[in-house]
């Protein structure tokens, strides 16, 4: 894989990941862009003990542009985009409308409130484009391209983990307008948070209490239990297991674990990366076969924190959809939104059976 870094017209970093070592990309960005300016801060909710990010500049971000004006397509004569090159394999660049501010940005502290309730969001948000074809999706990619994406995720995880204020790196993909996607070009995002996310902190707290009782890893034991039960396992290969969790919150929900404890994406072996590339495409094909059409989904990698409680973690991918039947969506109503208690209309065992039977 050839890695080529450059800078966009406003100073943002862009990195090309090419499958051919002799690939050459156009690096000059001819656009006239003002320097990136963000207004972002994190406010602490003392009731839930969670950080909430305020990012008012994102109101102006690009929203569902026509396909001939997509900012993630390669540049063409007379139509420069976020990607200066006329072609690419996989490319990562800093988001022009980041949820997290660049290092050095500071919120206005002149509020009269305790400063401890606010903090700068000294993190980073990147976009990762999976392919130059605007009409493709992740499920259409080749195993080789998926492998390149895994390597890019790993590369960015390592690089972002070295930033001084970053505590957690989160790689994810949203697909489908039902999920809230505002750009239909096949892409994902990478967030480098300056704090541990509530979900991660809660699961690590559970893992810590479990280890104190049993001296074992909670995630590993949960995986072994699912492998032993087999009723919710959708697919198992030499290196990975995909299963519907027993307490699935979503009508379609899959967790994909490496069969050995791995802390983060950079720790995956060559064989594990290759195996995942084939397994994941099979899973996506099964998901699209559930309701005879592209399934809207969120695919989220859970990795170990950068500095703390790393030994408690276990890398895994969580993939879920809000679609519960053809033409029907699972909406977060009162119980889910106000109380945090999910009500799932579809038993996990039923979802697992449907996925096992779905054409791949």
- Catalytic position from the list 57, 134, 185, 187: 187
What backbone torsions phi and psi does residue 190 show, to the nearest 5 degrees? -135, 120
Structure tokens at 179: 């999920």
Q: State yes or no: is 302 an active-site residue.
A: no
Q: In whole angstroms, how far apart are CA 74 and each of 36, 37, 322?
A: 21, 24, 31
Q: Are strands 323-325 and 316-321 parallel, antiparallel or unpaired?
A: unpaired
Q: What is the 3-state secondary structure (H, E, C) of the chain?
A: CEEEEEECCCCCEEEEEECCCCCCCCCCCCCCCCCCCCCEEEEEECCCCEEEEEEHHHHHCCCCCCHHHCCCCECECCECCCECCCCCCEEEEECCCCCCECCCCCCCCCCCCCHHHEEECECEEEEEECCCCCCCCHHHCCHHHHHHHHHHHHHHHHHHHCCCCCCEEEEEEEECCCCCCCCCCCEEEEEEECCCCHHHHHHHHHHHHHHHHHCCCHHHHHHHHHHHHCCCEEEECCCEEEECCCCCCCCEEEEEEECCCCCCHHHCCHHHHHHHHHHHHHHHHHHHHHCCCCCCEEEEEECCCCCCCHHHCCCEEEEEECEEECCEECCCCHHHHHHCCCCCCCCHHHHHHHHHHCCC
* Catalytic site positions: 187
């Amino acid at each position: 894989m050839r890695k080529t870094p450059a800078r966009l017209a406003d100073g943002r970093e862009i990195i090309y990941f090419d499958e051919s070592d002799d690939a050459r990309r156009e690096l000059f960005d001819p656009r006239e862009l003002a320097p990136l300016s963000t207004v972002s801060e994190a406010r602490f909710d003392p009731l839930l003990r969670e950080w909430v990010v305020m990012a008012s500049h994102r109101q102006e971000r690009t929203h569902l542009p026509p396909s001939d004006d997509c900012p993630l397509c390669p540049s063409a004569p007379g139509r420069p985009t976020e990607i200066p090159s006329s072609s690419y394999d996989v490319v990562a660049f800093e988001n022009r409308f980041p949820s997290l501010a660049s290092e050095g940005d500071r919120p206005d502290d002149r509020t009269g409130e305790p400063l401890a309730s606010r903090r700068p969001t000294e993190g980073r948000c990147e976009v990762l484009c999976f392919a130059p074809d605007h009409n493709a999706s992740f499920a259409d990619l080749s195993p080789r391209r998926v492998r390149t994406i895994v390597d890019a995720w790993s590369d960015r995880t390592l690089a972002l983990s070295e930033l001084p204020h970053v505590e957690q790196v989160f790689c994810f993909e949203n697909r489908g307008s039902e999920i809230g996607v505002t750009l239909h070009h096949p892409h994902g995002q990478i967030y480098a948070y300056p704090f541990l996310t509530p979900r991660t902190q809660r699961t690590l707290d559970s893992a810590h209490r479990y280890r104190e009782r049993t001296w074992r890893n909670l995630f590993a034991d949960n995986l072994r239990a699912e492998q032993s039960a087999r009723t919710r396992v959708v697919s198992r290969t030499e290196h990975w297991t995909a299963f519907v969790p027993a307490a699935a919150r979503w009508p379609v929900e899959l967790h994909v674990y490496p069969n050995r404890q791995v802390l983060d994406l950079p720790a995956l072996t060559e064989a594990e990366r290759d195996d995942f590339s084939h397994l994941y495409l099979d899973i996506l094909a099964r998901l699209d076969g559930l309701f005879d059409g592209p399934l809207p989904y969120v695919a989220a990698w859970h990795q170990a924190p950068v500095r703390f409680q790393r030994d408690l973690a276990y890398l895994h991918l969580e993939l879920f959809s809000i679609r519960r039947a053809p033409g029907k969506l699972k909406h977060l109503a009162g119980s889910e939104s106000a109380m945090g208690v999910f009500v799932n209309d579809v038993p996990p065992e039923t979802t697992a059976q449907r996925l096992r039977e779905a054409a791949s």
